[in-house]
Amino acid sequence: MFDILMYLFENFIHSETEIRVDQDELTEELVRAGFHHDEIYKALAWLEKLAALQETDIKPYLVKGSTSSVTRIFTHEEEVRLDVECRGFLMFLEQINVLDAFTREMVIDRVMEIDSAEFCLEDLKWVVLMVLFNVPGKENAYAQMEDLLFEEHDGPLH
């Protein structure tokens, strides 16, 4: 499923290619690309839920509010999916204002819905990018995250 999300993001969304509205046509293109129907439907449902997260009545815990909370307590399931490196990266993104409490929760929600046995920091970075792309008003955060994702560092970062 994650491979399909990456394929869609890289080939349609990120490349600014016109997104096909017809789900049947998109499904057929994904089948031609070698993906299976059940995984395609899961990926498309994942994207639909991402779009729905912007409606605050869908998930009450995502209501925009005070961002003064300092610590995010992760559930056991979240800790299993998001290792220490991933959780630290989320905290880093909040500290540099790429994510706020609202977008952080969107990212965690979408991560928990990915149907994959393994999940790593690189996967998290792509989910963050997909979420920020879909949130109006987060263009600067998206650009900053894109720089973090594609920037190559030579040597120490201090």
Alpha carbon 85 to its chain's center: 16
Sequence ranges of the domains in the chain: 1-52, 62-158
pLDDT recorded at residue 53? 80
Mean pLDDT by 10 residues, the chain (158 residues): 84 57 80 90 88 64 53 91 96 94 93 89 94 90 87 56
pLDDT recorded at residue 7? 84
pLDDT recorded at residue 154? 54
Note the pTM of the prediction, 2 decimals.
Answer: 0.80
Place of tokens 């540099």: 96
The string of DSSP letters for 72-103 reads PPPPHHHHHHS-HHHHHHHHHHHHTTS--HHH
pLDDT recorded at residue 67? 52
